[in-house]
Every structure is written in structure tokens, then in C-alpha cells.
Structure 1
Amino acid sequence: MSISDEQIRQRGSVLGIQVISQSTARRLGIVTEIWVDMSQRQIMGLTVTERVLPGTTIGFGDAYYMALEDISLLGPDAILVDTDRVLQDILVSERYSNLIGCEVVTESGEVLGKVRDFQFDPENGDLLYLILSSLGLPQIPPQLISTYLLDVNEVIAVGRERIVVTEGMEERMEQLSKGILETLGLGKPPWEQEFEDDYLPPTTVSGNALGSGRRENTYPKERPVYRREETWEEEDNWQEERVPLKPQERRRRIEPEPRRREPEPDYYENTQQQIQNAWAEEKKVTEEMEEL
């Protein structure tokens, strides 16, 4: 059974509407999130918050989980449920995701964009289409950024932050809106963006800032360092010649020759000789006195 375009609901149109109990006519809260099980391609439930910030879908206060099967009517302005007991503690399975910001790539790794919204069947919760953009931010109006429609039947693998689709999907997607930059010729879809592989980061950076990235592991060729040498030509013309700078030779360390050590005088022998000479002279004087 096919569904008409009027019956299809979009995530962005459901967020922010009120949930009302039919039995008590009491307002239970406001929808702030929709949870999807991508393994089954099904909408599983919603987050209902007590209050939200005006003009946004940011909720605060008590938050609850409400299963999609407990909804009696998903209208354009309100959601009707049978009783207040449909609200459960906010305990969402790890299998569920809101899909917003998930990167979509082909089997060959071609980036198609990021999920910014999705469309589903409100009767049975079947996920029908993903809406992609280059940034994946639903806060940006579609008039400012190009958006594309992707059939979920083209999805072949799902990860926590990445969705893989069939090859060549970029040629089969339907464009929903054309952004201002693309209209002016300043922007392109993600899969048509070209990058210069020979781009090099700036040679100087300020402070501790990191240089910008590069796509290739290439480096500029080393250039010789030149020094200026002054020359005098025969015509008395003064000019400067560029001469390649030779590597500086290592200076040899000149060590002084070791000094020759002079032999120290033998003071003991000199003293002994002086004593012997003194005794000899005294003996001689004594002998001369005895002769007299």
C-alpha cells in the first residue's frame, strides 16, 4: 500500500507539538526528539518533555519516553494518546538513534553529506527517506543550504555515526532545495567538491597554533642557501654575486703541546754535601791549630 505525500510526516514538523491525553484532556508535554531503529528502518518512539525554551525544541524539566504504538492520532498540531500512563521513564535502547548528523557515504567512500532530517509513515512508523545536507544541522533554513532526498532502501550498512549506501547514489538523489551559495555558483555538493592535492600549509604560524592540514604527504624541495659575495670586475663595476653557501667546516680544536717537566733538585743530597764540607773545614782548622 502506497502512501501519499500528504500523509508523510517529517521529523522537523513533529518536534515541538503537544501531547494530550484524551481521557483527562490534560497536556502531558511537548515532543523534543524522535528515536529510530535503523536496523529495522522503524520509528520506535518519542521523547516528551514537560517544557521547552520558546522558539526552540530544547526541553527542560521532566522528560519521558513514549512508544509510537501508544499514539492514537499524530495530527499536524497535537498528538493524542488514550491515557497518561503511556509516558515511561526516559530509558532509550542503545540501538536507537535520532540520526541527526550521521555521515552518509557510498560503498567507495564518496561523502554524500550528513543527515539533517528524515521522513516517515505515521501509521506504522516505517522510515521512508533521509534528508541530507553538507552540514547536517537542522537549525539552518533549507533556503540557505542545499538539501537532498535519499531513499532508505538504498542503505546497505549502518554504523553509530555513519550510513553506507549503494554506489552511484549521488546521481540518483533528488534535490529538495538549492542553497544561496550554490545559486550564486560559490558552492557545490559534497561529492563534487574538489581539493588541490598540492596545497601546502603556511610556513609561519602564530603562537602555539597548528598549521592547516594537507591532503598529500608531500614536502617542498629543499632550496640551496645563498650568501652574497662582493666581486670587483675589470670594468670597475661593483656587483654582488650569489654563491652557494658551503657547509661550515668543523673547526679543529688546537691543544697546546704538553710542557716538559723539569727535574726537581735533590735538596737532601745538597744538604748532606754542605754538612760534609762544613765538617771537613772544621777538621782542617783543628789540625792546623794542633800543629801550632
Structure 2
Amino acid sequence: MLLSEITNRPVMDTNAAQSIGQVDSLVVTARPPRIAALRLKKTNGGGTLLTWQNVHAIGPDAIMARANAREGTTDDLTKQAAACRNLTGRRILSERGTEIGLLQDIDFDPESGQVLDLLTSSGTLPGKGLLGIGSYAVVVQEGDCKSFGSVS
């Protein structure tokens, strides 16, 4: 599943059967490369982060979340969420500092939250090569970039 496919999708509380917000973006961790949370917009009270373990199901029309799902976010998650703001369009750099391209989308497993691939302006990189995400760039392993002509 792609980030672009779930952006703006409503998030519903499974107990109250009401909307708690819409998906704005993903909060991604590099080690291991997985979704840590969904960033929400247009929330009805509460926080703006929905931790991945509280995502019950991702359906074609809505994302279902457990009751009180937005409670209990940690400082680490809040810091990672800040670094992951506006991921699409972010520069992708190799671990040696060579610019690979721009992040266009993220492919992830909707069951486990594992990052499968990073779709870039230069091609597709395996998610397992993700080393770090910061406010300036996404850093990936050099070996995963060899097929792109700009990396020596």
C-alpha cells in the first residue's frame, strides 16, 4: 500500500463509530524500517498521532482504530513525527552524501507496517536500506543506490 493511497482517508474509532481525523502523513522509523504512527489532520479533539499498534485495519474507504488510540504517545515518537513532517518531496541522500533524488511515495505492508520500498524521482529503493530520516533528508545505504547513475 502507498502513502498516497491513504492520505486524506478518514480514521474511525471502532468503539464510537465516529471519525477521529484524516491521514496526513506517516511517521517512519529507520531501524527497523517501519511505520511508527499515522499523523492525523482535522482531528476531533485529542492528539494528532495514531500509533501503529492502535491501527486495527486499513480498509478501502477508512482506517479503523482502537478506542483511545491517540493516547500515550512518547517524546521519542513526537520527535520522530517532527522529523517526518512533509516526507514527500524530501531529498534522498546516500550514506556518503550523494543526492539520489526526491522521495515521491512510500510503499508499506498494511498489516505489519514494514516499509517495503521508497519510490523516488530516480527509481525505487528497497525499504531495508533506509538508514535515517531527518528534517533535511532521508538517508539510504549506498549499495541500494548503485543502479542509479548519479551515485559513484
- TM normalised by structure 1 equals 0.43
Residue 132 of structure 1: how far off its partner (Å): 0.8
2:21 alignment partner in structure 1: 29
Seen in structure 2, the aligned counterparts of structure 1 residues 109 and 16 have a Cα distance that, compared at 3 Å, is same
Unaligned runs of at least 5 residues, structure 1: 1-8, 52-59, 134-146, 174-188, 193-292
List 4+ stretches of structure 1 deviating above 6 A: none
Q: 1:40 aligns with which of 32, 40, 63?
A: 32
Seen in structure 2, the aligned counterparts of structure 1 residues 116 and 66 have a Cα distance that, compared at 3 Å, is same
Is 1:88 the counterpart of 2:62? The answer is no
Distance 2:35 2:8 in 1: 17
Residue 29 of structure 1: how far off its partner (Å): 1.5
Distance 2:38 2:142 in 1: 29
Distance 1:24 1:109 in 2: 48
2:132 alignment partner in structure 1: 158
Seen in structure 2, the aligned counterparts of structure 1 residues 73 and 15 have a Cα distance that, compared at 3 Å, is same
> 1:66–1:86: 8 Å Cα contact kept in structure 2?
yes
Seen in structure 2, the aligned counterparts of structure 1 residues 62 and 166 have a Cα distance that, compared at 3 Å, is same
2:50 alignment partner in structure 1: 66
Seen in structure 2, the aligned counterparts of structure 1 residues 167 and 81 have a Cα distance that, compared at 3 Å, is closer
Q: Per-residue CA shift, 1:140-168, capped at 9, x if unaligned?
A: xxxxxxx521112334x435233132247
Question: How many corresponding residue pairs?
Answer: 144
Distance 1:70 1:168 in 2: 32
Amino acid at match of 2:92: V
Map of 1:259-274 to 2, 5 A cutoff? none
Q: Per-residue CA shift, 1:160-210, capped at 9, x if unaligned?
A: 233132247242x6xxxxxxxxxxxxxxx8x29xxxxxxxxxxxxxxxxxx
Distance 1:13 1:159 in 2: 21
1:10 alignment partner in structure 2: 2
Report the structure, 1 or 2, having the larger strand content.
2
- TM normalised by structure 2 equals 0.76
Aligned-residue RMSD, C-alpha:
2.9
1:239 alignment partner in structure 2: none
Distance 1:124 1:166 in 2: 26
Map of 1:201-216 to 2, 5 A cutoff? none
Seen in structure 2, the aligned counterparts of structure 1 residues 16 and 89 have a Cα distance that, compared at 3 Å, is farther
1:185 alignment partner in structure 2: none
Q: Per-residue CA shift, 1:209-258, capped at 9, x if unaligned?
A: xxxxxxxxxxxxxxxxxxxxxxxxxxxxxxxxxxxxxxxxxxxxxxxxxx
> 1:47–1:63: 8 Å Cα contact kept in structure 2?
no
Seen in structure 2, the aligned counterparts of structure 1 residues 87 and 61 have a Cα distance that, compared at 3 Å, is closer
The percent identity for this pair of structures is 20
Q: Per-residue CA shift, 1:89-120, capped at 9, x if unaligned?
A: 87643234434344223455442202121111
Is 1:49 the counterpart of 2:32? The answer is no
Residue 62 of structure 1: how far off its partner (Å): 6.8
Distance 1:87 1:168 in 2: 35
Distance 1:69 1:79 in 2: 13
Is 1:169 the counterpart of 2:145? The answer is yes
Seen in structure 2, the aligned counterparts of structure 1 residues 14 and 121 have a Cα distance that, compared at 3 Å, is same
